[in-house]
Amino acid sequence: MSSQDTLSRELALRIGLAARALPDTDARRLFNVLTQCIGLPITEDKLGRIKLKTFKFADEGEFSDMNDVLLKKALHILKSGAETDTVLKPVIDAYSEDDMPGSVRIAFASNDGINIDGHFGSCSQFMIYQVLADEARLIDIRSTESPVGLEVDDKNLFRAELIQDCQVIYMASVGGPAAAKIVKLGIHPVKLPAIDPIAEVVSQLQTVIADTPPPWLAKVMGIEVNNRFRFDREATG
């Protein structure tokens, strides 16, 4: 940090905390990206004006391979000073149906909005992401609470219909009858063996989409792929 004598202790702390939020990144690496991104001196005003795309592709695309969710978290820390241990409420991105041609819409059963930690029949919300190989957006957060005054006879069907515009749903667990209702609506259910962060699963999906999608994913994407390999996570249903 000696290259900027005027860098305040507060900003240096933000850079250090933000670096910890990014994989394989230390304060020096992040500082170099910021220098290319906004120039010297680094100020709070400049940090506040950084856009995600600029941040991602600065310094010849140093962070271009990183998941957008993680980059947004680092930007939040840089701009607000929030510590990395703080659970950041995900922010819904603006989205129009023609924004991401060829993308897949995926639901994640979640209770905390960060991890795939929900059972299909009891999770508090579905986090809805639009995913391409090089872009991912959180486009909606759908509460599983039934509207006031509405009597729900079939809770599992009600929940499945909440996400019927999605091609895939990831969850921590799901029962057989519920999985059947999901499949009947044309949604591909995937049950994970452990609780994983949504950001990590989205990043893995992007890698798979960019390479050779497995049969089940190629099918929901509506593409034909030869010599497909099996995804490392088994789907239910």
CATH code of the domain in which 35 resides: 1.10.150.590
Per-residue pLDDT for 159 more than 90?
Answer: yes
Mean pLDDT for the chain overall: 84
What's the pLDDT score for residue 237?
44
Distance CA 127, CA 108 (A): 5
As for how many domains the chain has, the answer is 2
Residues 150, 186, single domain; the answer is: yes
Residues 71, 155, single domain; the answer is: no
What's the pLDDT band for 215 if we cut at 50, 70, 90? confident
What's the pLDDT band for 235 if we cut at 50, 70, 90? very low
Residues 23, 116, single domain; the answer is: no
Q: Which two tokens stand for residue 3?
A: 């290259």
What's the pLDDT band for 89 if we cut at 50, 70, 90? low
Any domain includes 142: yes
Domain boundary among 64, 80, 96: 80
As a whole number, mean pLDDT of residues 41-62 equals 92
Residues 62, 139, single domain; the answer is: no
The answer to whether 116 and 192 are in contact (CB under 8 A) is yes
pTM over 0.95: no
Per-residue pLDDT tens digits for 91-126: 899 999 889 988 999 999 998 888 898 999 989 999
Tell me the pairing of strands 104-110 and 125-132.
Answer: antiparallel
What's the pLDDT score for residue 236?
46
The answer to whether 92 and 138 are in contact (CB under 8 A) is yes
Residues 110, 195, single domain; the answer is: yes
Residues 182, 119, single domain; the answer is: yes
Residues 76, 108, single domain; the answer is: no
What's the pLDDT score for residue 224?
58
Matching residue, tokens 């993308």: 103
Q: Which long-range contacts (C-beta less than 8 Å, at least 24 apart) are formed by 180-187? A: 180/237, 181/154, 181/156, 181/157, 182/120, 182/237, 183/237, 184/160, 185/160, 185/161, 187/107, 187/160, 187/163
Any domain includes 86: no
What's the pLDDT band for 231 if we cut at 50, 70, 90? very low
Residues 112, 28, single domain; the answer is: no
CATH of the domain at 180: 3.30.420.130
Residues 68, 111, single domain; the answer is: no
Distance CA 102, CA 100 (A): 6
What values do phi and psi take at 215, rounded to 5?
-55, -45
Per-residue pLDDT for 6 more than 60?
Answer: no
**Residue-range definition of the domain harbouring residue 26:** 9-80
Any domain includes 235: no
Residues 120, 217, single domain; the answer is: yes
As a whole number, mean pLDDT of residues 4-33 equals 83
Tell me the C-alpha to C-alpha distance, in Å, between residue 127 and each of 20, 35, 174, 230: 25, 34, 16, 25
